[in-house]
Structure 1
Amino acid sequence: MLIFSKARLVVLSVPKTGTTAIEQALAGHASIAVLDPPELKHAPVYRYNRFFRPMVEKFIGPDMEIIAVMREPLSWLGSWYRYRQRPFLGGTPVSTAEMSFADFIEGYLQDPCPAFANVGSQAKFLEPRPNGTSVDRIFRYEALDECVAYLEDRLNLEIALPRVNVSPDAALSLPDSLKTRLADTCAEDFALWSSLA
């Protein structure tokens, strides 16, 4: 998460949406750069609202614009699956090294889901709070250049994103029946992504 006091801007870091590259490019320009631990770096709206917003409003002021990036849900889950195939996770409960993407999605659809598929939901991450705290603008990961152009304009900077945190290639095919179950179970995620301009 990055907070820019002069621009009155908060950039939330939805996992697996290219925000690590944005943070590497812009952390040095931010008033506050929360890069670690992951629970704070990737603070969803509810955590920002509870822990960060009171501090920001007290010391910077109200009416901060909050932006985020969202990825097409199936692609997002594919990125998690590929990321968790990395050798350093081998033998741990979160490793996906010995399973197919279909196995990963089957796990994701379980309640409760196993550790390897416990990655949350982008819709839940971005869910508005009852007090009105919400994301003002969501950019599609698939058009990340639009987010970069917006940030360049807001921050009066030229931004060159580094290529970081790239997951290994892996087959991401699913049977149609499993795609349908995923779309039904994760309807909020697919609806939110489809609503983005």
Structure 2
Amino acid sequence: MLVFVKERLAFLSVPKTGTTAYQAALADRADMVVSDPPMLKHAPVYRYNRFFRPMFDKVCGVELELMAVMREPVSWLGSWYRYRQRPFMAGKPNSTAGISFDDFVLAYLKGNKPGFADVGSQANFLKSQPNGTGISHLFRYEDPQRLREFLEQRLEVTFDLQQLNVSPPMELQLSHSVEARLRRKCAEEFVLYDSIA
């Protein structure tokens, strides 16, 4: 998470959406960088609302707008699948080694997900709270130019991005039947992604 108090902006870090690169590029410009532990670095809206929002309200007297990046849902799952294919994951419960992408997605669709497929939900991460706390600025991972233009204008800064924390390259293809099940069971993910202007 990156916080810019003067600009009244908090950049939440949805996992597997390239936010580590933005943290590295903008850390010197930010008033606060939450890079560890992962539960705080990747604080979803509900956790921001519970812990961070009251702090900024009481200590700084500001209400921050929230921004985030969302990745196309199949691509997002593919990134998690590839990330958990890394060699050092071999033999660990979260490894996807020896598991097909179809089987990974089918496991993700289960109510009681096995460890390797328990990767959360972008829609749940970004869900607005009853008190109105929610994402004011949502960007598609696949449209980095729009995100960059927003940040450069809002923060009055230019920056260079490096690729960091990247999943290993791999061609992935979901079968039509599994993708149809994913789109039906996780419809809110696709609806939210499609709603991004």
* TM-score range for the pair, normalised by the shorter chain length: over 0.9
- 1:63 Cα deviation after fit: 3.0
Runs of at least 5 residues in structure 1 that lack an aligned partner in the other structure: none
1:102-143 Cα deviation digits (max 9, x unpaired):
111011011111000000110000000011100101000000
How many angstroms apart in 1 are the aligned matches of 2:92 and 2:65? 39
How many angstroms apart in 2 are the aligned matches of 1:32 and 1:191? 32
- What is the match of residue 110 of structure 1? 110
1:53 matched to 2:40: no
One-letter amino acid of the structure 2 residue matched with residue 28 of structure 1: D
How many angstroms apart in 1 are the aligned matches of 2:51 and 2:131? 14
How many angstroms apart in 1 are the aligned matches of 2:45 and 2:83? 24
- What is the match of residue 153 of structure 2? 153
- 1:60 Cα deviation after fit: 2.4
Q: 8 Å contact 2:56–2:63 — kept in the other structure?
A: no
- Count of matched residue pairs: 197
1:62 matched to 2:62: yes
TM-score (norm 2): 0.98
- 1:196 Cα deviation after fit: 0.6
SS of the equivalent of 1:128 reads coil
- What is the match of residue 124 of structure 1? 124
CA-based RMSD of the aligned residues comes to 0.9
Runs of at least 5 residues in structure 2 that lack an aligned partner in the other structure: none
How many angstroms apart in 2 are the aligned matches of 1:60 and 1:104? 44
How many angstroms apart in 1 are the aligned matches of 2:170 and 2:104? 12
How many angstroms apart in 1 are the aligned matches of 2:45 and 2:165? 23
How many angstroms apart in 1 are the aligned matches of 2:190 and 2:169? 24
Larger mean Cα displacement after TM superposition, 11-20 or 52-61: 52-61
How many angstroms apart in 2 are the aligned matches of 1:174 and 1:65? 36
- 1:59 Cα deviation after fit: 2.2
TM-score (norm 1): 0.98
| Identity value in percent | 57
4+ runs of 1 displaced by more than 3 Å?
A: none
- What is the match of residue 7 of structure 1? 7
How many angstroms apart in 2 are the aligned matches of 1:186 and 1:159? 35
1:74 matched to 2:37: no
- What is the match of residue 38 of structure 1? 38
Which residues in structure 2 correspond to 1:169-188 (within 5 Å)?
169-188=169-188
1:31-64 Cα deviation digits (max 9, x unpaired):
1100001000000000000010000112223331
